[in-house]
């Protein structure tokens, strides 16, 4: 665990890694974690299966813990203020996989994650968001629907992750990704992960 600790990983998250017997960072984690923990913009070219999900979930989780949602005088956090991290993924399967990884990583914390995609009923997703979610993993189309339904707000977003950006391009999602990114606060931390770097993805980055 010393290697993850040296890269700035939150001690509470180290315990979650230990429970999964994850003790050595992969190449993409080794190359990006420290910079991501420092809040720097990240563009990483890494193939599927290289450990990139943890490469962005670890710094995002650390930031969520370090920057809790604003708490008014009555002490009750507005659920609409809790959404502080968004991961955009091209497919339902990937969105659900990322959310599952977030859930075990968040074990022992108060953080909540939710997967949202267009092949699943929007009603329970809206209900969950209005109850309070810290990290949302969504496909671009469903994210646009949730915003149009006023189910969530991006006003308090601290991190925006675009995963599998080249697949987003292949599936025609880049205009939607750009539209969503335009609604995020300027000070949010962008993290982009892709297996290849075609010109359109480079322009997005």
pLDDT in tens, 41-72: 999 999 888 999 999 999 999 999 999 988 77
Q: Which H or E run includes 40? A: none
106 in Cβ contact with 61 (< 8 Å): yes
pLDDT in tens, 130-164: 999 999 999 999 999 999 999 999 999 999 999 99
Q: State residue 154's pLDDT score.
A: 96
CA gap 87, 66 in Å, rounded: 19
pLDDT in tens, 179-196: 999 999 999 999 999 999
């Amino acid at each position: 665990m010393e290697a993850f600790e040296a890269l700035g990983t939150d001690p509470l998250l180290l315990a979650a890694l230990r429970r999964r017997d994850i003790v050595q960072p992969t190449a993409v984690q080794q190359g990006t974690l420290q910079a991501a923990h420092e809040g720097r913009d990240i563009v990483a070219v890494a193939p599927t299966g290289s450990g990139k999900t943890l490469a962005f979930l670890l710094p995002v989780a650390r930031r969520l813990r370090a920057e809790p949602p604003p708490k008014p005088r009555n002490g009750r956090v507005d659920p609409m203020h809790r959404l502080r991290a968004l991961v955009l993924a091209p497919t339902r399967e990937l969105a659900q996989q990322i959310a599952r990884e977030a859930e075990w990583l968040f074990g022992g914390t108060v953080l909540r994650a939710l997967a949202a995609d267009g092949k699943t009923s929007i009603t329970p997703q809206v209900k969950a968001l209005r109850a309070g979610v810290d990290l949302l993993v969504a496909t671009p189309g469903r994210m646009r629907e949730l915003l149009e339904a006023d189910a969530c707000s991006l006003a308090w977003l601290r991190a925006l992750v675009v995963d599998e950006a080249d697949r987003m391009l292949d599936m025609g999602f880049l205009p939607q990704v750009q539209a969503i990114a335009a609604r995020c606060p300027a000070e949010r931390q962008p993290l982009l992960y892709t297996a290849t770097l075609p010109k359109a993805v480079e322009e997005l980055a």
